Amino acid sequence: MKIAIVGAAGRMGRKLIELAEGTELEVVAKVDVAEGYERTWGAGVEGVIDFSYHTGVPAGVTKAAQEGIAYVIGTTGITAEEQKAVDAAAKRIPVVQSGNYSLGVNLLLELVKKAATILGPDYDVEITEMHHRHKKDAPSGTALMLAKSVASGRAVSLDEKAIYGRKGDIGERPVGEIAVHALRGGSVVGDHTVMFAGDLERVELTHKAQDRAAFAAGALKALAWAKGRAAGIYTMRDVLGFA
């Protein structure tokens, strides 16, 4: 399968190119705004993996929709307006979109949902994430997915319960609040912890990514899985078979 990598010069792009070598996925287009890369992909490309910057995603996914080829989105920080272009494209092509393509985090999403259901709102949920100093968006797409898993396990709306960081005279913590905190520093690939803090005990579920290959391998798998599927938006949980 001939594929294009968008964001090819970046940390994830380089890892994707490295891992695709010698597999059935042949990288024929390395797309990036950086010097020495192609500005877009040409004819013959059968699928695209995008780990770039959110502002570029609408144009990429729209072009893929015109060409009828699958599109895998790893890029996070996509705005509500930009997401409309993704949703419109998904009416015509298979789009896989996930804030995290690792097996471990997708398992964690399931565990967190179950813990949230069993422990209930009496256990205060605090989600922390830490990433390297170069990461541009906050909180991470993974932290947002984990917060959604908590909300789903409690059958509440995340928008109504979420807070992002705390500062000032904010008063006591309301029951049911789902708090998310972003840390940045060093070269951390991606750490996430979901803490359930009760009166008598605390439960902490943690994932630590040690190498970007954990995400890149999942994204390559997702594109091979998506090729030829019906149009629609899929997640890594669909790809892994536990959606």
Ligand X SMILES: NC(=O)c1ccc[n+]([C@@H]2O[C@H](COP(=O)([O-])OP(=O)(O)OC[C@H]3O[C@@H](n4cnc5c(N)ncnc54)[C@H](O)[C@@H]3O)[C@@H](O)[C@H]2O)c1
- Considering 30, 113, 131, 161, which one is annotated as catalytic? 131
Neighbours of 39 (CB within 10 A): 7
Catalytic, 221? Answer no
Catalytic, 131? Answer yes
Q: How far apart are CA 223 and CA 70, in angstroms?
A: 7
**Tell me, what amino acid is at 39?**
R
Sign, Cα dihedral of 72, 77, 79, 82 = negative
One residue of 58, 94, 99, 139 binding ligand X per CB under 6 A: 99
Q: Could you report how far apart the first and last alpha carbons of the chain are, in Å? A: 26
CB of 170 to ligand X, least distance (A): 28
Distances (CA, A) of 8 to 143, 148, 154, 192: 25, 30, 39, 26
Range in contact with ligand X (rule: CB under 6 A) among 2-10, 79-87, 149-157, 191-199: 2-10
Range in contact with ligand X (rule: CB under 6 A) among 41-49, 51-59, 79-87, 152-160: 51-59
CB of 33 to ligand X, least distance (A): 4
Query: Could you say whether residue 100 binds ligand X (CB under 6 A)?
Result: yes
Q: How far apart are CA 189 and CA 183, in angstroms?
A: 12
Query: Could you say whether residue 11 binds ligand X (CB under 6 A)?
Result: yes
**Closest of 204, 20, 53 to residue 31, by C-alpha:** 53
Range in contact with ligand X (rule: CB under 6 A) among 70-78, 82-90, 163-171, 173-181: 70-78
Known catalytic residues are 131, 135
Residues engaged in binding ligand X (CB under 6 A): 6-7, 9-13, 31-34, 51-53, 56, 74-77, 98-101, 137, 141, 215
